[in-house]
């Protein structure tokens, strides 16, 4: 039974469909992973903002606070129709959990595939004062068990956030663009890349802050450049680790999105991406880290089959440490995926 059926009508599940066009494509001709992330975030923002305004009280806008780890299950092709559906699956006092599923449909044959499933957390901010967090109207759960499961997910992500904060500290480590001519191929420095972007009105909500989906699309673009520079083949986004949106990015900021490779397995590459924001016109405002995340890419041959990737050449202790940490995440995620597959087969 859908959780949403038990909620107020204004919070009903939503579905957004559209045909995928050539300007949604990556260079391999499939739909860009960043475009899919952007569509997911749009659906999440609509349903959570609608829900948070479903009762009388202060009007608000739901800001994306976190995206849980998400896998890209199969490619979406240009000409197919994407169906992005979203429903609210949990509410805490100040946050909303949204589950989003993306299906792609071949409208010639009617065949449908699940391409992505994502869980996002939104926090409602007052329209009068975006620094003020508003209380979320609670949803009614169809059963006590579903409420308990939701609470467990909420507590798990809260715990993980605390851990990440402690691990990252407040230190900002900019990724400097190297002079690539002087770098050895397959080193971290060789593929390291950055993109500088001035945040304009088309990137922002009506309230002048960057849409989470826009940020994720730019992050995917930079990570993709790093992956291609390393392996020089077609690549696809395989997964994105949990992303926390630490701080808002305002219209008029300059953002630097930097990516560096941290780990290579036999057929995958992990890339760490940072988004640093710097107010353009306001004086006395320092550059700050707004978002960071790990993206995993797979290199493909002309038939779309995964290829072995060149192994990363590590040049110092810092890179070796990051590689080992990446290996830990890779092994953990692989075990999780295998357990999920096993559970699906047993169903």
**Which residues does the annotation mark as catalytic?**
26, 220
243-245 and 81-91: which strand pairing? Answer: unpaired
Q: Cβ closer to ligand COA: 117 or 158?
A: 158
Decide: is 229 part of the binding site for ligand COA (CB under 6 A).
no
Residue 146: CB minimum distance to ligand COA, A: 18
* Count of positions on this chain that bind ligand COA (CB under 6 A): 24
Whole-angstrom distance, CA of residue 2 vs CA of residue 26: 34
Decide: is 210 part of the binding site for ligand COA (CB under 6 A).
yes
Residue 30: CB minimum distance to ligand COA, A: 25
Residue pair 248/291 in contact (Cβ under 8 Å)? The answer is: no
> Over the Cα atoms of the chain, what is R_g?
20
Decide: is 337 part of the binding site for ligand COA (CB under 6 A).
no
Residue pair 130/209 in contact (Cβ under 8 Å)? The answer is: yes
Residue 330: CB minimum distance to ligand COA, A: 23
Decide: is 151 part of the binding site for ligand COA (CB under 6 A).
no
**Contact region with ligand COA (CB under 6 A), list: 57-65, 98-106, 143-151, 298-306:** 57-65
Decide: is 65 part of the binding site for ligand COA (CB under 6 A).
yes
Q: Cβ closer to ligand COA: 195 or 228?
A: 195
Residue pair 213/243 in contact (Cβ under 8 Å)? The answer is: no
Residue 125: CB minimum distance to ligand COA, A: 6
Decide: is 248 part of the binding site for ligand COA (CB under 6 A).
yes
Look at residues 280, 172, 169, 269 and name the one whose alpha carbon lies nearest to residue 228.
269
Residue 54: CB minimum distance to ligand COA, A: 17
Decide: is 64 part of the binding site for ligand COA (CB under 6 A).
yes
The two structure tokens encoding residue 289: 């880290």
**What count of other Cβ atoms lies within 10 Å of the Cβ of residue 62?**
27
Decide: is 66 part of the binding site for ligand COA (CB under 6 A).
yes
Query: Binding pattern to ligand COA, positions 286-325, x when CB under 6 A?
Result: ----------------------------------------
Q: Cβ closer to ligand COA: 293 or 298?
A: 293
Whole-angstrom distance, CA of residue 64 vs CA of residue 276: 17
Q: Cβ closer to ligand COA: 30 or 215?
A: 215
Decide: is 259 part of the binding site for ligand COA (CB under 6 A).
no
Decide: is 121 part of the binding site for ligand COA (CB under 6 A).
yes
Instruction: Kindly state the DSSP code that residue 203 receives in the 8-state scheme.
Output: G
Percentages (nearest 5) of helix, strand, coil residues in the chain: 35, 35, 35
First CA to last CA distance, the chain: 17
Q: Which helix (H) or strand (E) holds 150?
A: helix 144-168
Whole-angstrom distance, CA of residue 220 vs CA of residue 259: 9
From the list 247, 320, 334, 337, which residue makes contact with ligand COA (rule: CB under 6 A)? 247
Residue pair 120/68 in contact (Cβ under 8 Å)? The answer is: yes
Q: Cβ closer to ligand COA: 39 or 210?
A: 210
Q: What are the b/e assignments for 91-113, b being 16+ CB within 10 Å?
A: bbeebbbbbbbbbbbeeeeeeee
Q: What are the b/e assignments for 271-290, b being 16+ CB within 10 Å?
A: bbbbbbbebeeeeeeeebbb
Decide: is 251 part of the binding site for ligand COA (CB under 6 A).
no
The two structure tokens encoding residue 335: 């075990």
Decide: is 245 part of the binding site for ligand COA (CB under 6 A).
yes
Decide: is 95 part of the binding site for ligand COA (CB under 6 A).
yes
Residues that bind ligand COA (CB under 6 A): 63-66, 92-95, 121, 123, 133, 157-158, 161, 209-210, 212, 215, 244-249
């Amino acid at each position: 039974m859908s959780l949403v059926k038990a909620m107020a009508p204004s919070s009903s599940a939503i579905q957004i469909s559209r045909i995928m066009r050539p300007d949604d494509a990556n260079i391999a001709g499939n739909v860009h992973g960043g475009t899919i992330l952007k569509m997911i975030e749009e659906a999440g923002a609509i349903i959570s903002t609608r829900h948070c305004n479903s009762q009388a009280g202060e009007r608000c806008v739901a800001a994306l606070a976190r995206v849980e780890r998400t896998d890209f299950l199969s490619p979406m092709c240009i000409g197919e129709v994407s169906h992005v559906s979203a429903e609210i699956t949990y509410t805490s006092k100040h946050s909303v959990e949204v589950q989003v599923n993306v299906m792609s449909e071949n409208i010639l044959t009617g065949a449908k595939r699940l391409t992505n499933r994502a869980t996002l957390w939104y926090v409602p901010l007052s329209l009068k004062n975006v620094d003020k967090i508003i209380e979320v109207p609670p949803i009614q759960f169809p059963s006590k068990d579903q409420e308990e499961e939701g609470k467990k997910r909420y507590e798990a992500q809260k715990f993980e956030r605390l851990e990440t904060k402690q691990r990252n500290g407040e230190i900002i480590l900019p990724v400097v663009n190297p002079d690539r001519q002087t770098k050895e191929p397959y080193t971290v420095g060789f593929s390291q890349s950055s993109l500088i972007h001035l945040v304009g009105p088309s990137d922002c909500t009506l309230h002048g802050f960057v849409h989470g989906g826009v940020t994720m699309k730019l992050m995917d673009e930079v990570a993709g450049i790093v992956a291609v520079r390393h392996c020089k083949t077609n690549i696809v986004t395989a997964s994105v680790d949990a992303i926390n949106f630490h701080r808002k990015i305002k219209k008029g900021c300059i953002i630097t999105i930097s990516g560096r490779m941290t780990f290579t397995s036999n057929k995958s590459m992990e890339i760490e991406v940072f988004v640093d924001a710097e107010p353009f016109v306001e004086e006395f405002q320092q550059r700050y880290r707004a978002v960071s995340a790990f993206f995993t890419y797979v290199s493909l041959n002309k038939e779309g089959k995964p290829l072995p990737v060149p192994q990363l050449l590590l040049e110092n202790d810092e890179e070796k440490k990051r590689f080992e940490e990446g290996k830990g995440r890779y092994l953990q995620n692989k075990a999780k995926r295998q357990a999920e597959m096993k559970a699906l087969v047993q169903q």
